[in-house]
């Protein structure tokens, strides 16, 4: 049972890392677009 | 699958199984990755900034107590209005909501902690340095920023003091902290919910913060872009906002308000979440219209990105643009009205009792609605042409941000404080504090409506004699409201140090939610085992399943 709990936790943590990476990429893209569109 | 399982097992370290308490001493707070510790740090930082920003407000109201220049120079007065706005928005209200999110989201979703605890520590510890840098500008040669919290170009570029570069760096750091906080909240809500909690089972504070986090992710990088362009305009010869070099100062306003209007909702959506917990608890009824609350929050969030130019009706936009931004703005009143209707309907025929959090929640509903209605007036183009840049605007946004956002934070603190520290506050003192604050805040801000309608401009240290009476009344209210926060500090510290111990897990008999199934005071580590779906449904404060 202990291993199962750890497995679920580990899977959730990996999911969190992937989510965080995607959201951070979106933020960086919005920042870049602000500069690019303002310079046109 | 076998490979994946092996990999996962290889990753599991022995120390994952250990459960330890906080580290003793000061280093606990520096190194902590615990969501509650970080939340408390956010709240204390926000309260400190509230006192600093409040002190600046006292200077403003002192100067405006009577007509004529009396206590401060106009340039210093402008620094006060600028720093007061910046500190309250970025240093007080936003960190306070992030603090409440840190403390309450994991227990509300049945999670163990925030998803990215180390980043959480970093998100917080950037703040004191950014705040200190922002405040330090006031002691630099040429003074601090004096161009208003909206820092319009060219006031903030061509004509700004040297300290503006430090201000820009501080805004970058504050934005970075907010973005990291938002990433953490999104990752936590999406990944660390108890398996039995579907999206439409989530408590409303979690929903409102989840949507707010997306607003932050979309809005804060735009602010970062704006200040980056300011930086390059000031130091590296670009002309983004300089008409002489082919740029456009009005574009700054568009970019600023594309961030600035969603920012307003960043500061009010979590407030809606808190109130949606407090009212059902003390009305002893499930929240009316849970689904409509969720959809209304989403609608407000989407609409917040398409109304920014209602702050700019006087910049000379085409009639079609004015009409569009006016109608889109007025449209926001529909989902906001849904929320107010649902709170009132939740109270309708409820077994109401008026403990301290409920007093603040009821005051929120009434006074925030006043701020919303004056917002409707400002959204109407011909009316806005008269009201623009007057004290009517000051009255409007203080009703929204003080009696709205700040009141909800106070409601939330009084609602959850006994759970956090295991002690009950002095209810008699807290009642006195409530009436003191709620009366004085209206004495402070309500006369500003009349001043604005009569034509008194905002951001001025002196005024015509016909504005003297209402300014005097507003200042008296301001001093009283400012003093009330010293009593609030005493009530909270007294509660933590020597309040009457609370034994029950469910501190308020009508409270529902996974957070109330935890022991009181809340254990250092939140849910170490997932709550079941049955418990999730049993603890729901709404009926949308």
Contact yes or no for A38 and B251 at CB 8 A? yes
pLDDT value for B9 = 43
User: Which residues is B501 bridged to in the sheet?
Assistant: B423
pLDDT value for B167 = 97
User: Which residues is B500 bridged to in the sheet?
Assistant: B424
Could you report the per-residue pLDDT of B276-315, keeping only the tens digit for each? 999 999 999 999 999 999 999 999 999 999 999 999 999 9
Separation in Å, CA of B420 to nearest CA in chain A: 25
B312, containing H or E segment:
none
pLDDT value for B14 = 39
Contact yes or no for B222 and A30 at CB 8 A? yes
Could you report the per-residue pLDDT of B425-480, keeping only the tens digit for each? 999 999 999 999 999 999 999 999 999 999 999 999 999 999 999 999 999 999 99
Report the C-alpha gap between B314 and B378 in whole angstroms: 12
User: Which residues is B457 bridged to in the sheet?
Assistant: B390
Report the C-alpha gap between B203 and B514 in whole angstroms: 9
For B233, which residue in chain A has the nearest alpha carbon? A39
pLDDT value for B543 = 64
pLDDT value for B544 = 53
Report the C-alpha gap between B168 and B63 in whole angstroms: 28
Report the C-alpha gap between B297 and B542 in whole angstroms: 16
Two tokens, residue B79? 């620094």
pTM for this predicted structure: 0.93
Residue B521 · residue B443 · CB < 8 Å: no
pLDDT value for A5 = 66
With a CB-CB cutoff of 8 Å, which residues 312-351 of chain B face chain A?
none
For chain B, residues with pLDDT lower than 50 are 1-18, 545
Report the residue count for chain B: 545
For residue B221, give the nearest of A9, A20, A34 by CB distance: A34
SS3 label, residue B70 = coil
Residue in this structure with the two tokens 């009255």, named with its chain if needed: B395
In this structure, what DSSP letter does residue B515 have?
Answer: G
Report the C-alpha gap between B100 and B45 in whole angstroms: 12
| Catalytic-labelled residue, pool B84, B234, B277, B512 | B84
CA distance readout (Å), B216 to A32, B94, B119, B495: 16, 11, 16, 33
Residue B274 · residue B408 · CB < 8 Å: yes
Tens of pLDDT, residue by residue, chain A (40 residues): 444 667 777 888 899 999 999 999 999 999 999 999 998 7
Contact yes or no for A26 and B17 at CB 8 A? no
Structural Rg of chain A based on CA atoms: 17
pLDDT value for B12 = 42
- 3-state SS of B314-361 is HHCCCHHHHHHHHHHHHHCHHHHHHHHHHHHHHHCCCCCCCCHHHHHH
Q: Is B224 on the interface with A (CB under 8 A)?
A: yes
pLDDT value for B5 = 41
How many C-beta atoms surround the C-beta of residue B489 within 10 A?
A: 12
Residues of chain B by 3-state class (helix, strand, coil), percent to 5? 70, 0, 30
């Amino acid at each position: 049972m202990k291993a199962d709990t750890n497995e679920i936790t580990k899977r959730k943590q990996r999911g969190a890392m992937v989510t965080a990476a995607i959201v951070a990429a979106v933020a960086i893209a919005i920042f870049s677009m602000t500069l690019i569109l303002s310079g046109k | 699958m076998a490979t994946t399982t092996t990999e996962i097992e290889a990753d599991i370290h022995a120390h994952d199984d250990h459960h330890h308490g906080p580290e003793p001493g000061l280093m606990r707070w520096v190194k902590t990755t615990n969501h509650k510790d970080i939340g408390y740090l956010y709240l204390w930082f926000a309260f400190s900034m509230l006192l600093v920003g409040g002190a600046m407000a006292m200077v403003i109201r002192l100067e405006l107590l009577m007509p004529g220049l009396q206590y401060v120079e106009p340039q210093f007065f402008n620094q006060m209005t600028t720093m007061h706005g910046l500190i309250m928005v970025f240093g007080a209200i936003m960190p306070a909501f992030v603090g409440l999110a840190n403390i309450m989201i994991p227990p509300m979703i049945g999670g163990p902690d925030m998803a990215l605890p180390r980043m959480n520590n970093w998100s917080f510890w950037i703040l004191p340095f950014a705040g200190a840098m922002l405040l330090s500008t006031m002691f630099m040669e040429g003074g601090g920023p004096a161009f208003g919290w909206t820092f319009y170009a060219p006031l903030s570029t061509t004509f700004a003091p040297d300290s503006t570069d430090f201000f820009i760096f501080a805004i970058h750091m504050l934005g970075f902290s907010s973005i990291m906080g938002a990433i953490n909240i999104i990752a936590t809500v999406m990944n660390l919910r108890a398996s039995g909690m579907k999206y439409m089972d989530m408590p409303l504070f979690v929903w409102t913060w989840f949507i707010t986090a997306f607003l932050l992710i979309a809005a804060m990088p735009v602010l970062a872009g704006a200040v980056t362009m300011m930086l390059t305009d000031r130091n590296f010869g670009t002309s983004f906002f300089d008409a002489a070099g082919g740029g456009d100062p009005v574009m700054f306003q568009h970019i600023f308000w594309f961030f600035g209007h969603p920012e307003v909702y960043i500061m009010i959506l979590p407030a809606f979440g808190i109130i949606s917990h407090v009212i059902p608890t003390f009305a002893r009824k499930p929240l009316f219209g849970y689904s409509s609350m969720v959809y209304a929050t989403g609608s407000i969030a989407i609409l917040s990105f398409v109304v920014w130019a209602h702050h700019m009706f006087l910049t000379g936009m085409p009639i079609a643009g004015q009409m569009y931004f006016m109608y889109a703005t007025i449209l926001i009143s529909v989902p906001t009205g849904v929320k107010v209707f649902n709170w009132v309907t939740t109270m309708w025929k409820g077994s109401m009792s008026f403990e301290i959090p409920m007093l603040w929640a009821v005051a929120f509903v009434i006074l925030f609605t006043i701020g919303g209605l004056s917002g409707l007036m400002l959204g109407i183009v011909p009316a806005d042409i008269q009201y623009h840049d007057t004290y009517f605007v000051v009255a409007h946004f203080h009703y929204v941000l003080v009696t709205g956002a700040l009141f909800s934070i106070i409601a939330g603190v009084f609602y959850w404080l006994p759970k956090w520290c295991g002690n009950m506050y002095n209810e008699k003192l807290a009642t006195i504090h409530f009436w003191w604050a709620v009366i004085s805040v209206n004495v402070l801000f309500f006369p500003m409506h009349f001043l604005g309608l009569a034509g008194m401009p905002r951001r001025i240290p002196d005024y015509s004699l016909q504005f003297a009476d209402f300014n005097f009344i507003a200042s008296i209210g301001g001093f009283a409201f400012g003093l009330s926060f010293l009593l609030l500090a005493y009530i909270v510290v007294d509660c933590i140090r020597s309040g009457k111990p609370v034994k029950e897990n469910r501190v308020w008999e009508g409270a529902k939610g996974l957070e109330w199934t935890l022991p009181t005071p809340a254990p250092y580590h939140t849910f170490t085992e997932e709550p079941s779906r049955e418990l999730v449904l049993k603890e729901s404060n709404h009926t949308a399943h």
